[in-house]
Structure 1
């Protein structure tokens, strides 16, 4: 049974049983506490917690998920994958334990010919929470399940909570017994790979508080509406139904594994280590494909870092299989072909996805080449010093700074007959993880507990009137101070105010929040920010500038009209620039993010190289021609599928509901899904002036522009500057570039002459410096300050000349100078001095410490620097002191 067929059988069954079929949410969640959708329940959290009323009593879905906390287990067990699909059925205050058990049992054990999954009951086991007698009895009465195959387990396995105050409850898990060939008898309690968990039924019935850990908390009481949250692992069902040993050999994953086998020339099933690598490649390539299809791009932080890590682990695994060159073109194409029937976007968006994948692979292959060069130098130095172990700090530097994998460091070191201080490396890694966890915990503590909005959201969805009105009368539904509900807030306090209706735009879709005020009887509030803490609820962060505001009072929201006008201009200009980019560069130049505020727009898009001046001018001209043509701007609210069929552009990773707002500028020329505020006709934008274009990561570019009056002011300032230059240089405007180039060339020639004079002046000091050599211990030492110098290279050159002039006895030369206002010390040693144990790097580092900086280098020549030029004499004296001791 194919994976897609299993998913369809699940959805068909629950649709037949009165469930609304909900499409999968994006892998990119809008939950601020999470980077990704890590479980099937994430999109339903607002409904399960009661923060937002559920739009349906029953639902079912097939949710895409990404989870990387067990990334080291990928490939080693039959079930661990970073990307997986979770089938779920949900009840929001409708059916409870009996219904959940009945549905699960019927679907699992009904014959395939009747639309079921055809599991033999004798192959199944069940676990329940050790205190849940009700579930234990229901499994026997509803499913006729034998008591001897129902096991009671503790909170660590059979109790669900988020680890935060809120809903929680016991769960019941269904396991498939793979048979004695896969492990010992004894059921799921043995925690053996023989028993594969295939479905988890969570009975969300309690409210918890005083959470001390995920499994240590106080139960306040039962929830007013009990919910059902289930999760069936699609990949796990697939590998069982397809008769293979693990999820990596299923129909949606195996093609990538087979392609890796073909490219490497090695055999799958012949070597355990190679098998793990093949599985890692298959899993990580598929996960990367799916992440990029939802708009994630490789970067050094957040979601982009997770994607980059997955891709680089795949590259590393191919490397360990003996393949040094690029392979992503073929591996990603294999994954695309395996996934496109279930997720057509991986094919329709293939040009963009492959562009990112190939660029990231090329970058990391260069990283590997650079890392190997650094590692080779470290290996050589270790061997030269008679050592046998690469320091853990050096291996960590390669890993942390250069992205060079530790297992490649181990492999290359072993080939060179050396080892790596793995214990020291692991210690440094653990310290880094501890810092990261502390940062994450601190971030999590700073996140608002959205449960405080639950009662407010239950009063209804905030009505946004700002598309048509800049002033709206309403009433105060709630007030929060420091996240705690209060009845009123007085002068000087910062508070969150929830209104039934508002004209103020909440930050979303790249557009920043409106500025404005909220006024009412006897009070005035200055609006600091406007956000949507939960879906459908708009919260205003305000400062009470006068009076006292209370719950239930009348309130009028008033938008700063000038600021809104400029923000609308900027947002509409962003749409024009996007359309102009696609006209100029082609359809693969798609939006990757934006920011719009009054007078300014920033637009990120997929593109692999810098734009030429001619291209930037063309984009700017197309956008401004659209302004000149006074194109009509229209908005329509329609079904998401209809909007997509009309060619509306959507921002990757953005979450859209069943109905969306589509903005047209000039008809289909610019057609995007957008909830922002816009002008009525393009001429209202006024002017678009591109002021910057830069890289924001591999295959990502950014253009910035000023809009409207801000653009005019910027161009007026440039005009004034040009006028000043023409006056000062007595040159017509059109001749300014040539005149400035001429002056620049003259200046460079003058600087070159001055540098030559300074270098000669330093060179003339060579005899005197050599004559100043004094014996310190067994070495001839020159430690002198040169005053000022044009560059550190001049000082280095002179130090080497002095060293050569002093002959073959042990020689140490330390010269100091002030270069561009900062002190520099160069230390040079000859062969005889180095044989005696004198190292230039050590001496330069010591001198730099005196200067308030750092330094080091090779044993023969090294450099140090700092911030305190007045300490040069003392720094040079420290060289002599070190030699004397």
Structure 2
């Protein structure tokens, strides 16, 4: 049975049993405890936590999930995956244990013809919590499972919670017996390799207190309503029904491994464990990366972006270690899209973008590998020069952590160079890093944001937004919240949140900042609105300061938008649409939106592109945008179905989840048509001039354009004009000749700087030549050195030291040169030490000397035995440094 069929049978089974099908949520949800959705119940947390009333009593879903805690174990074992699909059925105060157990059992054991999976009943072993006599009795007496195949387990195995204070309850897990070839008899308690868990039934009936781990908390009491949360692992059931050992051999993973074998010329399952690990890493990470990009994640250096970057780079690394030296990412991602899009059609719709992002990261990492190879070569050379055969764990960790250079490549290259790596030291440093990360995660995992205070308002229904049609609305105060607690009234000076039944103020969303304004009453009460956010995406929360009077729950009020603010906001948001349309006209349809922010007079727009805009492209984007402004295009907004909107060509924000009914903003017919819930001008001329003020990179494959609109654009241009006029006046040339005149002056300045540098170098060489005449001999070693004229940097000192070393190369000699440079109020003391072959033969090493003398000039440094350098801040310490150098040479 194919995985897509397994998935659909699950949904059909529970829909037939009266459950509402809920589509998979995005892997990215607004949850302070989670980078990614990691369990099927996560989208339902507001219902289980009592923050919102569910719109259904029972539901079913197949949720995309990503877990990256054990990312380093992926491939090493066949049990770890980062991406998986969790099928679940949920009851919110409706049915409980008996029905949940029955639903699971019938789906698993009913024949294929009857819509089930056709699994043999005697292969299934249920487990229950230690004291859950009720669940055991249902399994034994009603389902008919023999008592010897039902096992009781403790808190760690058969008790569930979210990991934070809140709902919890005992579990009943269902295991499948794969047979004696996979391990010992005796059920899950004996061997969880032979008996694999395929379903977990959570009987959510209690409330837990604070505490860590799976059993380090107290059960506080019963929930007001008993709920059901279950999860069946789609991939694990696929292994059983397809008769394979692990997920990597199922219909959605094996094709990726087969493709990797064709691209690399290596074979999977040929007896090479390391190769098999790499094949599995490719299959797992390519799938996860594709799904993450499909939900709007982009490679970056922290958070979700870093996880994605790490996954993609592990694929590149694994392919390289398997022997492929050509780009392969596009092949893998395209295959994943082909195999997964029957269940997730958005992947096919976003194929071009997903592939482009992955290919861009592959190219970027290839450069990192090249840079890492150079750094490795330096580390290897230094190791050999120190007559050692082991690259330090610190060097290996620096390559891995700072430069993204994988440890297995370091091991491979070390072996090729006849060296080993201190893996124990590397592992210890990695463990320290993981412990820090784990501690940080624990510190941040303080619980789900408590929105229960707003539940009454969420149950009442959404706030009526009137701001598309009016800027002033009559409204009623439904509630006041101060520091997370409902209050009946508030007086002058207090800050709080006000919930109204109607509001003309735009709540921040879609890149548009919230409106500001006021809430007033007829008897002189005035509240200043500083922010507007949403609870549950439907209830407007007005953050206010009470300036005058006293406000009370139930008051009739007037809510007003600051008209100047709204005018600027509409200019910024409509200007964003204009710039987006212009970008697509200049760069093509791949320049899709990756994010935006607009406020009065200003916009920034992030878009997908692998290279910077040229100056001519920036001008063209600006000209197209302003031509559309001048054309005075009408702005139309209307609501329609999501499918219909896409068929009309309306652009959707990538990674955003939309409902069945969407709002379309159309500017100038085909010029710009996007799905958008923001506020806009009535005609494009109201945007005013659009001035692009900057373009930059914000991540791999993502660029950012910034622009001013309206009066802010005018003020910017006015300031630029005044600056140009001032330059023209100072240079005594017409404005249009200023660029040429400035270029002349810059060239003259560069020539003058080069001349000064030549004079400084000549002076330094003359001074350095005199150092040999004043050199001293300590033992048999000549010491040449001292302070040279100010202004020489490390490069200049290094060149002089090399020249001097050449002049005394026939004898043991040490050259030590110091200088000083000043940048404003900061003084630096660069220094270089070089040794001849004969000096090194006596055990005199430049790197050792630099480490000893650096502190005397208030700095540090290091290097190789033949040449080392450093920098300090105290020029008065040069004499002491030379004295210490002579002592070091004498001690040899």
TM-score class, shorter-chain normalisation, is over 0.9
1:348 matched to 2:349 = yes
Equivalent position SS for 2:394 = helix
Residues 572-651 of structure 1 aligned to structure 2 (within 5 Å): 572-651=574-653
Indicate the residue corresponding to 2:74 in structure 1.
Answer: 74
Evaluate the alpha carbon distance shift between residue 854 and residue 678 of structure 1 in structure 2; reply closer, same or farther with a 3 A threshold: farther
Partner Cα separation in structure 2 for residue 836 and residue 484 of structure 1: 78
Find the partner of 2:868 among 862, 869, 872. Answer: 862
Equivalent position SS for 1:660 = strand
Evaluate the alpha carbon distance shift between residue 99 and residue 387 of structure 1 in structure 2; reply closer, same or farther with a 3 A threshold: same
Evaluate the alpha carbon distance shift between residue 555 and residue 417 of structure 1 in structure 2; reply closer, same or farther with a 3 A threshold: farther
Evaluate the alpha carbon distance shift between residue 676 and residue 877 of structure 1 in structure 2; reply closer, same or farther with a 3 A threshold: farther
Equivalent position SS for 2:327 = coil
Indicate the residue corresponding to 1:277 in structure 2.
Answer: 278
1:658 matched to 2:660 = yes
Deviation, structure 1 residue 590: 0.7
Partner Cα separation in structure 1 for residue 212 and residue 196 of structure 2: 30
Deviation, structure 1 residue 159: 1.6
Greater shift, 859-868 or 396-405, is seen at 859-868
Question: Residues 52 and 535 of structure 1 are in contact (CA less than 8 Å); yes or no, is this contact kept in structure 2?
Answer: no
Deviation string 1:380-429 (CA, Å, 9 cap, x unpaired) is: 33233332221110010010011111122223323444322222212211
Structure 1: 5+ residue stretches without partners: none
Deviation string 1:42-89 (CA, Å, 9 cap, x unpaired) is: 111112222122122222222111111232333344443211111122
Deviation string 1:316-342 (CA, Å, 9 cap, x unpaired) is: 222332333322232223222222322
Indicate the residue corresponding to 2:171 in structure 1.
Answer: 171
Partner Cα separation in structure 1 for residue 542 and residue 290 of structure 2: 39
Deviation, structure 1 residue 755: 1.6
Evaluate the alpha carbon distance shift between residue 690 and residue 306 of structure 1 in structure 2; reply closer, same or farther with a 3 A threshold: same
Indicate the residue corresponding to 1:736 in structure 2.
Answer: 738
Indicate the residue corresponding to 1:130 in structure 2.
Answer: 130
Greater shift, 320-329 or 21-30, is seen at 320-329
Evaluate the alpha carbon distance shift between residue 550 and residue 806 of structure 1 in structure 2; reply closer, same or farther with a 3 A threshold: farther
Indicate the residue corresponding to 2:201 in structure 1.
Answer: 201
Partner Cα separation in structure 1 for residue 320 and residue 16 of structure 2: 49
Evaluate the alpha carbon distance shift between residue 125 and residue 641 of structure 1 in structure 2; reply closer, same or farther with a 3 A threshold: farther
Partner Cα separation in structure 2 for residue 153 and residue 97 of structure 1: 17
Indicate the residue corresponding to 1:794 in structure 2.
Answer: 796
Indicate the residue corresponding to 2:859 in structure 1.
Answer: 853
Indicate the residue corresponding to 2:838 in structure 1.
Answer: 832
Deviation string 1:632-653 (CA, Å, 9 cap, x unpaired) is: 2222233333333332222222
1:232 matched to 2:232 = yes
Deviation string 1:432-451 (CA, Å, 9 cap, x unpaired) is: 12222233233333973344
Question: Residues 392 and 420 of structure 1 are in contact (CA less than 8 Å); yes or no, is this contact kept in structure 2?
Answer: yes
Question: Residues 476 and 500 of structure 2 are in contact (CA less than 8 Å); yes or no, is this contact kept in structure 1?
Answer: yes
Deviation string 1:794-815 (CA, Å, 9 cap, x unpaired) is: 3333333344445633322322
Question: Residues 291 and 307 of structure 1 are in contact (CA less than 8 Å); yes or no, is this contact kept in structure 2?
Answer: yes
Structure 2: 5+ residue stretches without partners: none
Partner Cα separation in structure 2 for residue 33 and residue 713 of structure 1: 44
Indicate the residue corresponding to 1:814 in structure 2.
Answer: 816
Evaluate the alpha carbon distance shift between residue 222 and residue 659 of structure 1 in structure 2; reply closer, same or farther with a 3 A threshold: farther
Deviation, structure 1 residue 218: 3.6
Indicate the residue corresponding to 1:99 in structure 2.
Answer: 99
Evaluate the alpha carbon distance shift between residue 229 and residue 657 of structure 1 in structure 2; reply closer, same or farther with a 3 A threshold: farther
Question: Residues 79 and 236 of structure 1 are in contact (CA less than 8 Å); yes or no, is this contact kept in structure 2?
Answer: no
Indicate the residue corresponding to 2:358 in structure 1.
Answer: 357
Indicate the residue corresponding to 2:440 in structure 1.
Answer: 439
Evaluate the alpha carbon distance shift between residue 628 and residue 840 of structure 1 in structure 2; reply closer, same or farther with a 3 A threshold: same
Equivalent position SS for 1:199 = strand
Partner Cα separation in structure 1 for residue 448 and residue 36 of structure 2: 16
Greater shift, 223-232 or 533-542, is seen at 533-542
Indicate the residue corresponding to 2:39 in structure 1.
Answer: 39
Partner Cα separation in structure 2 for residue 141 and residue 667 of structure 1: 68
Indicate the residue corresponding to 2:190 in structure 1.
Answer: 190
Evaluate the alpha carbon distance shift between residue 584 and residue 853 of structure 1 in structure 2; reply closer, same or farther with a 3 A threshold: same
Equivalent position SS for 2:803 = helix
Partner Cα separation in structure 1 for residue 641 and residue 61 of structure 2: 19
How many pairs are equivalent? 885
Deviation string 1:838-863 (CA, Å, 9 cap, x unpaired) is: 33233334444344433222322332
Question: Residues 792 and 819 of structure 2 are in contact (CA less than 8 Å); yes or no, is this contact kept in structure 1?
Answer: no
Partner Cα separation in structure 2 for residue 510 and residue 634 of structure 1: 20
Deviation, structure 1 residue 712: 0.9
Evaluate the alpha carbon distance shift between residue 53 and residue 199 of structure 1 in structure 2; reply closer, same or farther with a 3 A threshold: same
Residues 333-344 of structure 1 aligned to structure 2 (within 5 Å): 333-344=334-345
Question: Residues 783 and 879 of structure 1 are in contact (CA less than 8 Å); yes or no, is this contact kept in structure 2?
Answer: no
Question: Residues 51 and 534 of structure 1 are in contact (CA less than 8 Å); yes or no, is this contact kept in structure 2?
Answer: no
1:254 matched to 2:254 = yes
Alignment RMSD, CA only? 2.5
Partner Cα separation in structure 2 for residue 72 and residue 761 of structure 1: 57
Deviation, structure 1 residue 620: 1.2
Indicate the residue corresponding to 1:703 in structure 2.
Answer: 705
Greater shift, 527-536 or 110-119, is seen at 527-536
Evaluate the alpha carbon distance shift between residue 869 and residue 767 of structure 1 in structure 2; reply closer, same or farther with a 3 A threshold: closer
Deviation, structure 1 residue 523: 5.4
Question: Residues 763 and 789 of structure 2 are in contact (CA less than 8 Å); yes or no, is this contact kept in structure 1?
Answer: no
Question: Residues 694 and 703 of structure 1 are in contact (CA less than 8 Å); yes or no, is this contact kept in structure 2?
Answer: yes
Deviation, structure 1 residue 703: 1.0
Deviation, structure 1 residue 477: 4.2
1:565 matched to 2:571 = no
Equivalent position SS for 1:765 = helix
Evaluate the alpha carbon distance shift between residue 496 and residue 440 of structure 1 in structure 2; reply closer, same or farther with a 3 A threshold: farther
Deviation string 1:104-136 (CA, Å, 9 cap, x unpaired) is: 222222211122221221111111222222222
Question: Residues 162 and 214 of structure 1 are in contact (CA less than 8 Å); yes or no, is this contact kept in structure 2?
Answer: no
Equivalent position SS for 2:245 = coil
Indicate the residue corresponding to 1:369 in structure 2.
Answer: 370
Question: Residues 793 and 830 of structure 2 are in contact (CA less than 8 Å); yes or no, is this contact kept in structure 1?
Answer: no
Question: Residues 184 and 192 of structure 1 are in contact (CA less than 8 Å); yes or no, is this contact kept in structure 2?
Answer: no
Equivalent position SS for 2:424 = helix
Partner Cα separation in structure 1 for residue 782 and residue 490 of structure 2: 79
Deviation string 1:180-229 (CA, Å, 9 cap, x unpaired) is: 11111111222421112122222222233344554343444333332222
Deviation, structure 1 residue 685: 0.9
Indicate the residue corresponding to 1:422 in structure 2.
Answer: 423
